[in-house]
Amino acid sequence: MHLPASLARLNFVSFAHTKAACRALAYVALIVGASGAIAASNSVPSRFELLRAQDLRVASVAYRLAIANKALCAPVLVPQLGFVLHSFEQYGPADREEAARSFGLGSHIGVMAIVAGSPAERAGLAAGDQLLSVNGRNLDAQPEESAPSRASVEHAQRILVEEMRRGAVTLLISSPGGDRELRFAAALGCPSNVELVPGDEVNAWADGSRVILSDGLLRRCATDDDLALVIGHEMAHNLLHHRRRLAAEGVSVNGLLALTEVESAEVRGTEEEADRFAVNLAMAAAYDLSDAETFIGALMRDGTTAATTHPDLPRRLALLHGAIVAAKQGIALAPRLSE
């Protein structure tokens, strides 16, 4: 689970008004809650394992979407890590010791979860390993604040992707069996930087480069087919540069300003485009969208959908149905992607 740093969003369900600061508190609260559970019932390990399972589920679906759509994303391919990183500093100060013990996390960047079948996994990287360097470049960062922060993880991710862009990498890792080197070439795929944030809010959004998904929405995805549609929708917003396009037209998508009728129509247009593209992304990755209309219908009926910025339910379902039928007939939507 990760902290979002930006408010700007193109949502899956609605425009929410949560501020980043509130999310940081929620994040700490989640972990503090886990600590409380330990004292009471000794159940913390399972709570931390649940966090790991959730991160793995999200990373696995994002990875499959990214790889399966490689041809479509040819102009904008990026190396796919195939693993989720975490660091000591991203947990609340009071809970770091427990998080470290549960995850085998030390002073280095740790592997929270690893996608089965990824080149890193095949090379022998495993959850619980710590990363020391890539191609001789140190992956540690010096955290400057004691508040929960993802800065160290983002620093390491940036270096890893830089090195992976050049070709095969040599990773120096620290694992329970001692320090050792692994060598592999990361697979290339569509940009799909997905982060999971805690909270019961049922939503996901795209900030231009990342897809941010709430725990609440993840729990509503009964199957990975549902999850693929959600992640695909947000990936589509980023791949199609919707945020940039709307900003260029002067449309604010941070949910804090009221939109004019014309602006709302612009946003609805991007939402419909993202839904259509998501169907293609998910079906190219062999996800089964037979229940997609039921899933979206239930989500929107229960949600706080802002009618002005999203198509109404009958229209959204009709559009989804049409996109699925077209994709089954091999009529793929293939927008031209650019940097």
Decide: is 217 part of the binding site for Zn ion (CB under 5 A): no
CB of 11 to Zn ion, least distance (A): 5
Nearer to Zn ion, 10 or 239 (CB): 10
Decide: is 320 part of the binding site for Zn ion (CB under 5 A): no
CA atoms within 13 A on the CB side of 87: 25
What are the phi and psi torsion angles at 96 (to 5°)? -65, -40
Nearer to Zn ion, 81 or 206 (CB): 206
Nearer to Zn ion, 104 or 269 (CB): 269
Question: What is the x/- site pattern for Zn ion, positions 233-272, by CB under 5 A?
Answer: --------------------------------------x-
CB of 255 to Zn ion, least distance (A): 12
Nearer to Zn ion, 215 or 271 (CB): 271
Sign of CA dihedral 187, 188, 189, 194: positive
User: Are the C-beta atoms of 310 and 271 separated by less than 8 Å?
Assistant: yes
CB of 233 to Zn ion, least distance (A): 5
Element (H, E) at 85: strand 83-86
Q: How far apart are CA 118 and CA 151, in angstroms?
A: 25
- Beta bridge mates, 205: 11, 212
User: Which ranges of 167-291 does DSSP label H, i.e. alpha helix?
Assistant: 215-220, 224-239, 242-248, 261-284
What single DSSP character describes residue 336?
P
Span 271-290, contacts to Zn ion by CB under 5 A: 271, 274
Decide: is 10 part of the binding site for Zn ion (CB under 5 A): yes
Nearer to Zn ion, 257 or 286 (CB): 257
Nearer to Zn ion, 10 or 282 (CB): 10
CB of 71 to Zn ion, least distance (A): 24
How many other C-beta atoms can be found within 10 angstroms of the C-beta atom of residue 102? 19
Span 45-74, contacts to Zn ion by CB under 5 A: none
State the amino acid at position 223 in one-letter form: T
Length of the chain measured in residues: 339
Contacting residues toward Zn ion, per CB under 5 A: 10, 271, 274
